Chains A and B, each alone.
Chain A
């Protein structure tokens, strides 16, 4: 406290300048564009807005976006928890390599991720060729969209859990095992309650990205209207067709989902802080 107080008294103008700058940047860069989306979406009135978002193609895009998230999030939750568990609870050869591999979807540009999947599953691709022989198509279908979404969002839960579980140590789990608890009992009754809030935080971030992903999905979807269009792709399409009101209406839906996610995230953070304070 006293250190803070010193800074304050030594240079009040520097402090005010920094705060002002931060607020201004937030306003210009983040808040104004967000407001613009909603303002534009509603610029032709409520009725047009409702019409735009209840358009069958829009509804299909919403459904597809939610479907991709509904598959990618549980898959990556299970993956994240298992990977974090393996990395923080066991010593095995390749542990570090696994940890690096988990980060690949973060470090690779989503467009590249899309192209990678196209190479692999597209006609003439390593797996794609075999799939074609068996009359199975992955690229330019919902399956392809779900696959790349899973890829792009795979690190979120694991990344959130690994440092948290490392910091927590293994003593509580060991204590449970010594008292005769099975592996499952230890997981459900000791591990999971301990990592609960970090896990929820990871899931929320994973979900936000799953719904918002554009680049990778754009490559593998083939943009077939009413079939393989997710919300972000749909926005882009309407925009290209100069249907501004429609584009902004669809964008407002995405933005709304994002805001909702942020609210949930803040709630999770607040809960976690309160839990830590209790300890």
Chain B
């Protein structure tokens, strides 16, 4: 089932949590709502579930207006960050809950319920826990039970609110891979909320990046990672270096760099920031202005990250330390030491006009 929200808005007192969002969640896909805390992603998810009422706008399931349908009639599955398992019930009763609360004429027979619960427990590989209580399970196991419970009523859509947020790093990675495989098996339209960009890129078919209640960008993981639409997305998806300079008629002048910036051709002269990812920043021992190796920096620190080396550099065009990442072999060939002056060239850079508040910050 496909889901759509139209111009949806939600305020809590004076705080606008979701500010006029339009989105389409394609059928059978796993979509990540990604953003920092307070960006409105959880509120959006809860409005889709019906746990929160929108102030204005619409929620559509398969094109049908669902905005005023009660949460218990929407047929969604919801997984909470802190599992929300019923503490006083066994795992079996937890998973069976959604089936046992159905009105008598829709309720499956006892044997059928038993059958279905066992199949679900098999699906999450926790059949042996049927008679245990949630308190006797680990966090990862509890979340898998919560997922089985959410799937028991055969929901048309599965919503997950920071499902791995309360787990430690290793279990989190395992579980998200497992969720991806599970989704490939059952293909239910799924939306999950996360603040972890790595998790979103790793698991989702589509990523929606939110900030201050609005959508910054949506697209496939590759699209958003390779072509961030805004400085915010650039910052949020992985580490990035910022170089400050000016744009003059389609050319960005950052120190001694001249970067083509055709999308700003009409700008006469404005402050600008060039964003360069650490693995796309070349370091050379000597300058070569003809090929663009022209920005001087001082090598401040060298850190080994296993197979890659991270160089910390200082240059006047950036207030923050600059990072470059390269392979160990490439680093050995450079033959440079801390304190040396080196020369930089971006393999790839994105230039954005500097918003006023950003300019004030930099000054």
CB-CB < 8 A to A171: which residues of B?
Answer: 80, 82, 84
**CB within 8 A of B72: which of A181, A189, A194?**
A181
A179 contacts B84, C-beta separation under 8 Å: no
- B326 interface contact, C-beta 8 A: no
| Shortest Cβ distance from residue A22 to the other chain B in the assembled complex, whole angstroms | 35
The answer for the CA separation of A180 and B70 in the assembled complex, in Å, is 9
Question: Which of the residues B49, B87, B153 comes within 8 Å of A180, measured between beta carbons?
Answer: B153
A176 and B98 alpha carbons, distance in the complex (Å): 7
The answer to whether the Cβ of B362 comes within 8 Å of any Cβ in the partner chain is no
Instruction: Known contacts A171-B84, A174-B78; decide if A179 and B133 are in contact (CB<8 Å).
Output: no
A18 close to chain B: CB less than 8 A: no
Q: Which of B63-96 contact A (CB under 8 A)?
A: 71-78, 80, 82, 84-88
Q: Is the CB of B149 within 8 A of A172?
A: no
Chain A contact surface mostly: helix
Complex CA distance for A194 and B89, rounded to whole angstroms: 10
Determine whether the beta carbon of A172 is less than 8 Å from that of B97. no
Q: Give Cα distance in the complex from A95 to B103, angstroms.
A: 34
Given B74, B77, B135, B150, which contacts A279 in the complex, CB threshold below 8 Å?
B135
Q: Give the residue name and chain of the B residue nearest to A183 (CB).
A: B72
Contact flag A178-B135 (CB < 8 Å), given A172-B84, A172-B86, A189-B101: no
- A181 contacts across to B, CB distance below 8 A: 72, 97-98, 101
| Residues of chain A contacted by B49 (CB below 8 angstroms) | 178
Q: B97–A176 contact, CB under 8 A? A: yes
- CB of A190 within 8 A of chain B? yes
Distance of A185 Cα from B100 Cα, bound (Å): 10
> A190 vs B98: C-alpha distance in the bound complex, in angstroms?
12
Q: Determine if A182 is an interface residue (Cβ-Cβ < 8 Å).
A: yes
Q: Is B102 an interface residue (CB 8 A)?
A: yes
Q: How many residues of A contact B (CB 8 A)?
A: 18
How many A-B pairs with Cβ below 8 Å? 67
B87 surroundings in chain A (CB, below 8 A): 172, 194, 279
Q: Which of B51, B85, B88, B97 contacts A179 (CB 8 A)?
A: B97
A63 within 8 A of B: no
Interface range for B: 20 to 34
A18-66: which residues lie under 8 A (CB-CB) from chain B? none
From B73, B80, B88, A174 is in contact (CB under 8 Å) with B80
| A193 contacts partner chain B, Cβ-Cβ < 8 Å | yes
A278 within 8 A of B: yes
Cβ-based interface call for A177 (8 A) = yes
- A75 contacts B by Cβ under 8 Å: no
The complex places the Cα of A193 from the Cα of B89 at a distance, in Å, of: 9
A194 touches B88 (CB 8 A): yes
A175 part of interface (Cβ distance < 8 Å): yes
User: Known contacts A180-B72, A180-B73; is A174 also within 8 Å of B84 by CB?
Assistant: yes
Instruction: Tell which of A176, A178, A193 touches B88, judged by Cβ atoms closer than 8 Å.
Output: A193
Q: Check A177–B72 contact: CB distance below 8 A.
A: yes
Q: Are B77 and A185 in contact (CB under 8 A)?
A: no
Cα-based distance from A194 to B101 in the complex (angstroms): 18
Question: In the bound complex, what is the Cα–Cα distance between A278 and B90 (angstroms)?
Answer: 13
List of A residues within 8 angstroms of B101 by Cβ: 176, 179-182, 185, 189
Closest Cβ neighbor of B161 among chain A residues: A171
A204 → chain B closest CB, angstroms: 21
A174 and B51 contact, Cβ closer than 8 Å, known pairs A180-B101, A180-B153, A279-B87:
yes
Contacts of A194 in B (CB 8 A): 87-88
0 or 1 for each of B44-58: is its CB under 8 Å from A? (1 = yes): 000001110000000
A193 / chain B contacts, CB cutoff of 8 Å: 86, 88
Q: Would you call A177 and B84 a contact (CB within 8 A)?
A: no
Nearest chain B CB to A197 CB, angstrom units: 11
Known interface pairs A180-B102, A182-B101. Does A175 touch B135 (Cβ–Cβ under 8 Å)? no
Are A178 and B73 touching (Cβ within 8 A)? Answer: no
Known A-B contacts A171-B80, A174-B51, A174-B78; the reply to A179 vs B86 at CB < 8 A is no
CA distance A172 to B149 in the complex (A): 12
Residue of B nearest to A172 (CB): B84
Q: Is the CB of A178 within 8 A of B86?
A: no
Kindly list chain A residues whose C-beta atoms are within 8 Å of the C-beta of B88.
193-194
User: What residues of chain B lie closer than 8 Å to A178, measured between beta carbons?
Assistant: 49-51, 71-72, 74, 76-78, 150
The residue on A at minimum CB distance from B49 is: A178
A178 to B70 alpha-carbon distance, docked (Å): 9
CA distance A222 to B249 in the complex (A): 97
| Interfacial chain A residues near B80, Cβ < 8 Å | 171, 174-175
Q: Which residue of A lies closest to B102 (CB)?
A: A180
**In the complex, A99 Cα to B231 Cα: how many Å?**
47
Kindly state the separation between the CA atoms of A171 and B142 in the bound complex, as whole angstroms.
15
Residues of A with C-beta under 8 A to B72: 177-182
Q: Which of A177, A179, A181, A185 has the most CB of B within 10 A?
A: A179
**Complexed CA–CA distance, A194 and B87 (Å):** 8
A residues in contact with B150, CB < 8 Å = 178-179
Closest partner residue, chain B, to A193 (CB atom):
B88
CB distance from A186 to the nearest CB of B (A): 8
Question: B222 → chain A, closest Cβ, in Å?
Answer: 33
CB distance from B294 to the nearest CB of A (A): 57
Chain A residue with the shortest CB-CB distance to B136: A278
13 interchain pairs, CB-CB under 8 A: A171-B84, A172-B87, A174-B80, A176-B86, A178-B71, A178-B78, A179-B97, A179-B149, A179-B153, A180-B72, A180-B73, A182-B72, A278-B135
Besides the known contacts A179-B101, A180-B98, 10 further A-B residue pairs in the complex with CB atoms under 8 A apart: A171-B80, A174-B84, A175-B85, A175-B149, A177-B72, A178-B49, A178-B72, A179-B97, A179-B149, A179-B150
